[in-house]
Amino acid sequence: EWFFLAQALLRPGQSFSLMSGLAALIEQKLTGLHSYFGQANCFSAPGSPKHLSVSTAFGATVLAASSLETDSYEEELSTAVLKNDLTMPQVPKEDISLRTDDATVMSSAPRSRLARSDTMEASLQSSQLPNLGKFEPLSTLKDEFKFNKSFGEKVDGLIEHEYKGWRRVRGDGNCFYRAVGFGLLEQIIAAPDSKRQVAASALVCKLKNLSFEEKVEDEGHQQFVERLFRVASGHSWQDGGGDLLASFEDKSPDGIDQACIRAIRKLVAQCIIARADDCSLCGGIDFRTLCEVQGLGSPEDFCNTVVLPMGVEAESVVMNALVCALDIGLKLALLDRTEQSGLVFESYEPPGEGNSDHFTVHVQLRPGHYDLLYLECINETSRR
């Protein structure tokens, strides 16, 4: 990265400043843009554009100290540098509609505003990362942005809300579904015998009738259902006592990780289409209206283009449908690096009054990514 930038800046016939270019890159690194194992990921913070102050100039484009949406800009910048093309991309204008200190407005912003594609660099390195990391204390999350005081204060807020730790989730566009799927499964497996078997049986009933056109995908799904059936029958997750985390490391199309993500996507899509005109799931607004007002087309269009394809980031409509489809609770902790708002939570509950005996998955959404959160310390060996 340093070599390509230096080579581009010193290209004959171009009067650019090497030192200012390197300074901008250092500034970018230190502000914590690369958040997951040192890299950027597939989501950005809700309702608050990421800011990067740049004090350098490339050619005729002056990058003044201004507010930039760094995901899209960084991707264009990376592409230009790697192609040795110094015709720099235009700096995107600030979206004034996203500038707010109101936490309620921020939390209700369309999830499409925060969903961004991985950068070119992150996409390559993401494939080399594990699907899921091990349980870590929140101190390591705080270290991810140790140069950002505001982010550190929000992690302290998680501790004040009695969160004990977190788990890294690979950012490949599937991180939300992977986080929720794994988070639910590990709670089922760790539950007392009676609750574990009942919950596993209920999930098997939801999954057993799903089918997939590709043979390798269908085989992976059947393997996934068989694992759950073992748990529902009072046995361990897999023969030989292998743990849940290890079973999610296979990245192949017929692996448990991919099968779990596909199954959740399909259940969510079925829920959105079957209950497209049901106003009870989204605070009095039906899925059809939500899709239309956010410019997502009909529920069928939305499912075919956003929900069902692998590697496509989740939108806000998905959150409401997911808790209904899986009969679980979902709590999102919204973390960003700005000082515009404090720590904000979004809670989603399945339909039905008095349904308090469900599992709740806790997820943190920070610039670029979804990761898992925990209210208790985790013993990995108990997830078998």
Whether 310 and 173 have beta carbons less than 8 Å apart is answered as: yes
- The number of angstroms, rounded, from the C-alpha of 90 to the middle of its chain's C-alpha atoms is 27
Residues 6+ apart with CB under 8 A from 247: 227, 237, 238, 256
In the block, tokens 């897999």 appear at 238
Q: Is 190 helix (H, G, I), strand (E, B) or coil?
A: helix
Instruction: Tell me how far apart the alpha carbons of residues 231 and 185 are, in angstroms, rounded to a whole number.
Output: 10
What pLDDT score was predicted for residue 128? 82
Does the structure show a pLDDT above 70 at 316? yes
* DSSP assignment string, 45-92: -TTS-------EEETTEEE-S----HHHHHHHHHHHHHTT---PPPPP
How big is the CA angle at 360 (ends 306 and 174), to the nearest 5 degrees?
25
Least confident of 51-60, 233-242, 278-287: 51-60
Percent of the chain with pLDDT over 70: 64
241 backbone dihedrals φ, ψ, rounded to 5°: 75, 20
Of the candidates 86, 55, 40, 49, the residue with the CA atom closest to the CA atom of residue 68: 49
Q: Is 258 helix (H, G, I), strand (E, B) or coil?
A: helix
Classify residue 308 as exposed, middle or buried by CB count within 10 Å of its CB (0-12, 13-18, 19+). middle
Does the structure show a pLDDT above 70 at 78? no
180 backbone dihedrals φ, ψ, rounded to 5°: -65, -45
Instruction: Report pLDDT digits (tens) over 153-183.
Output: 999 999 999 999 999 999 999 999 999 999 9
More confident residue, 122 or 146: 146
What pLDDT score was predicted for residue 147? 87
Whether 110 and 294 have beta carbons less than 8 Å apart is answered as: yes
Whether 119 and 74 have beta carbons less than 8 Å apart is answered as: yes
Does the structure show a pLDDT above 50 at 293? yes
Domains in the chain: boundaries: 2-124, 125-382
Average pLDDT, rounded, for the chain: 75
Does the structure show a pLDDT above 80 at 67? no
Name the CA dihedral angle for 134, 368, 141, 125, rounded to a multiple of 10 degrees. Answer: 50
Does the structure show a pLDDT above 80 at 197? yes
pTM: 0.69
Instruction: Tell me how far apart the alpha carbons of residues 314 and 176 are, in angstroms, rounded to a whole number.
Output: 7
More confident residue, 286 or 85: 286
User: What's 125-382's CATH class?
Assistant: mainly alpha
Q: What is the total residue count of the chain? A: 384
Q: Which two three-digit tokens encode residue 280?
A: 């009870």
Residues forming beta bridges with residue 362, ordered by sequence position: 331, 373
365, containing H or E segment? strand 360-366
